[in-house]
Amino acid sequence: MSGRLANRRVRLLLLLFASAFGIVLARTAWLQSVSASDLSRRGAKQQHETIVTPAGRGTILDRTGLPLALGEEATTVYADPHDVRNPRTVALAAERTLGVDANRLYPQLLDKRKRFVYVLRQADPERAAALRKLGLPGVGFYPEERRVYPQHAVGAQVLGADGTDDRGLGGLELGLDSLLSGRPGRETFVKDPLGRPLDVLSSVPERDGHDVFLTIDHTIQANAEAILRQTVAQQRAKGGTAIVLDPRTGQVLAMAVVPSFDANRFSHVPAAVQRNRAVTDTYEPGSTFKLVTVAAALSEQLVTASTPFTLPYSIQVADRVIHDAERRGTETLTVGQILSHSSNVGAVTLALKVGSDRLSRWIEQFGFGRRTNIDFPGESAGIVLPRAQWSGSTIGTVPIGQGIAVTPIQMATAYAAVANGGVALAPHVVDRVVGMSRARAHLPGVRRRRVLSPRIAHQLLSMLVNVVAEGTGTSAKVPGYLVAGKTGTAAKPDPFGGYSSKYVASFVGIVPASKPRLVILVAVDEPRQAIWGGVVAAPAFAQIAKFDLQYLEVPPDATASEGASGTSG
């Protein structure tokens, strides 16, 4: 009995060994055939590691080479919850050294299913170094670059901002993102079982982004912003815009928007404040648009600057009655005086002589209703009714800048054409991209386009000089310089129809008038102390112009009497 029992046990043991061997053999076959590729990938992943080395973002500089946006060294701190031994200690240490919220971080560190958690992106290197000294298991560090704006609020709406993922969020940071971003590098190396690097298998170096020089001059920009802020505060206005443009080149030297913000705090600012309103927003221009009406009448050879018109206080056009801003009796004004006195009735009278078809063509000729093609994202084309949609009263409203919406950059460009002998140049804010042509950088070329004949441009310039010398723009005078320009006072449309009791006061000027170097536009939104462009915007123009002319060392071109400061408008 004992012998047979022993044999049974031996056979059972052999069966068990045979079964185990069969299972091992089947598992081996499975691993070598079906799972081989997956296991190979896992093994390679454990032995090989690829890290991405971020590329430096290009610097944005003003026309003098002063950095406006640049990269600064930072350290990104992360954690592997699987390797973190004491999540509470790590969370409290991160809060103490980096200022992160421990209550937010702690639950993430408890989740052992995760292998990567950001503790803080782009942390201050010194603070990160203090955390590194604690030697907390599971906490890692890698160098990264963060975007800083050393001039803070200067040009904030022009620059926009760069996000933590090195992507532009607005302004030129967004518009030039492909040029500024560069290309990250990659490095693959072999690790030992403890995760220590043994050898580099492959390496692709990073390529930093391109540096970009702007046409913006930091000094001119900062001054324009300061004067605009002061004007908005004095007038208790909603906001304001100022542009300084070189009519000879199309270069934008300043583009100020108020209210502004510190570009380093871009993410904390409402979207409405982030916009560069000089390019993206429209307004009814009011009397500054009369330049187009007068230009059309002169160019069509219907009148001369000295042609007289007997003008009543009001004029009816279809169902509209148009009158001048100040009550007066019937008077005779020349075409030049119509512009200098900013007569609504006179402008409408000229428009009726020109006719709807020709006036519509001249509005298009000046570039209204389409983008200027400025190298800035989000430009508005403005709002211009096609000729086919004009009503009977349109010929009475559009000639005086009502029922039409323009952007500040469009209006500045139109006056720049007059200043430049009738030739308009596309405005631009990017001067050059280091190492690339404008074409290769996919930036629009600086196009020249004749708008007016040199003779008509010269006549208009002389008329605009009279606006400042003896008309509505006397407060725009700059001692020592001949100034040409036009005031504008426009009621804002009411969303529910008609016009509200809120206004945009503006002035567009050219200086020096004898040899134009600058076109300066100032528009103040909803001023409350006064509403007239000659009272609100013209003095701000004079302050900006006086500073810029001295800064650029532009020689005077007027006698003391011609350039004396005005006191009304």
Of 179, 210, 216, the C-alpha closest to 62 is 216
Q: What six digits make up the tokens of 356?
A: 């709807």
Catalytic residue status for 33 = no
| 187 within 8 A of 202, measured Cβ to Cβ | yes
CA Rg value for the chain: 35
Q: How many CB atoms lie within 10 A of CB 546?
A: 19
**Phi/psi at 532 (5° precision):** -80, 135
Which residues have C-beta within 8 Å of that of residue 390, sequence separation ≥ 6? 356, 360, 398
Distances (CA, A) of 410 to 77, 119, 144, 353, 416: 47, 47, 41, 26, 10
Of 477, 527, 469, the C-alpha closest to 501 is 527
Q: What six digits make up the tokens of 45?
A: 């992943």
**Phi/psi at 310 (5° precision):** -90, 120
* Strand boundaries in 381-457, DSSP class E: 423-425, 430-433, 448-450
Beta bridge partners of 510: 484, 519
Q: Which of the residues 287, 340, 342, 506 is marked catalytic?
A: 287
Angle between helices 102-110 and 87-98 (to 10 degrees): 150
Helix, strand, or coil here: 108?
helix
Q: How many CB atoms lie within 10 A of CB 244?
A: 26
Scan for tokens 């699987």, then name that residue.
Answer: 82
- Residues with active-site annotation: 287
